Amino acid sequence: MKRLTALLCIYCFASNLFAQDVLATFKNKVDDTNLSIKEVIPVINQRNNDLCFFVLNSKNVYGYLLNENFEIEKSLSSEDRRRKYKTLIGYGIIDKFNYDIILTNTNKTKFATVNFSFNTGTSELKEFELDNPQEKFIQTVTINNICYLIAIARDSNSLKFYKLDGLNPPKSNQIDFSDEHFIDRKGGKTKLYTLFKVTSSGTITEADTPKIDYDLPNTVEVVSEEKKIYVRDHKIVFTFDINKDLIQIITIHPEDFSYTFKTHSKNVLEIDQPTKKSNSFLGKDALYTLEVSKDSLGFQATNYHSNEVIKQIRINKNDSITFKNTSIVQEGGVYDKYRELESTQKLLRKLRLADLGISVYKPQDQYEITIGSKKEMKTTSPMLTPMGNFGAIPIASLGSVNMFFNPTLFAYYNYNGTRSVYVKSLFDKDFNHIKGEISKNIFDLVKDYTENRKEYINQYKIPKNQPGSDIFSDKNNLIINGFNKDAETIFKYKSYLIFGEYHIKSKTYILRQFKPATSGKENHIVN
Q: What is the pLDDT confidence band of residue 191, given thresholds at 50, 70 and 90? A: very high
- Predicted confidence at residue 84, as pLDDT, reads 84
- Predicted confidence at residue 25, as pLDDT, reads 87
Q: What is the pLDDT of residues 151-173, one digit of tens each?
A: 999 999 999 999 999 999 999 99
Q: What distances in angstroms separate CA 209 from CA 158, 195, 266, 377, 407, one per listed residue?
A: 16, 11, 22, 21, 12
More confident residue, 440 or 460: 440
Sequence ranges of the domains in the chain: 1-82+448-522
The yes-or-no verdict on residue 394 having pLDDT over 90 is: no
The yes-or-no verdict on residue 300 having pLDDT over 50 is: yes
Cβ proximity of 432 and 458 under 8 Å? no
Q: How many CB atoms lie within 10 A of CB 133?
A: 9
> What average pLDDT does the segment 373-383 reach?
56
**pTM given for the model:** 0.86
More confident residue, 240 or 522: 240
> What average pLDDT does the segment 359-363 reach?
92
Residues 6+ apart with CB under 8 A from 202: 185
Cα(254)–Cα(26) distance, integer angstroms: 37
Identity of residue 194: T
Closest listed residue to residue 194, CA positions, set 227, 172, 162, 225:
227
- Which 3 state secondary structure label does DSSP give 336? coil
Residue 144: DSSP 8-state: T
Cα(45)–Cα(215) distance, integer angstroms: 19
The yes-or-no verdict on residue 339 having pLDDT over 70 is: yes
Q: What is the mean pLDDT of the chain?
A: 83
> What average pLDDT does the segment 273-278 reach?
84
Q: What is the pLDDT confidence band of residue 434, given thresholds at 50, 70 and 90? A: very high
Cα(334)–Cα(7) distance, integer angstroms: 47
- Predicted confidence at residue 12, as pLDDT, reads 30
Q: What is the pLDDT of residues 223-243, one digit of tens each?
A: 999 999 999 999 999 999 999
Q: What is the pLDDT confidence band of residue 33, given thresholds at 50, 70 and 90? A: low
Q: What is the pLDDT confidence band of residue 468, given thresholds at 50, 70 and 90? A: very low
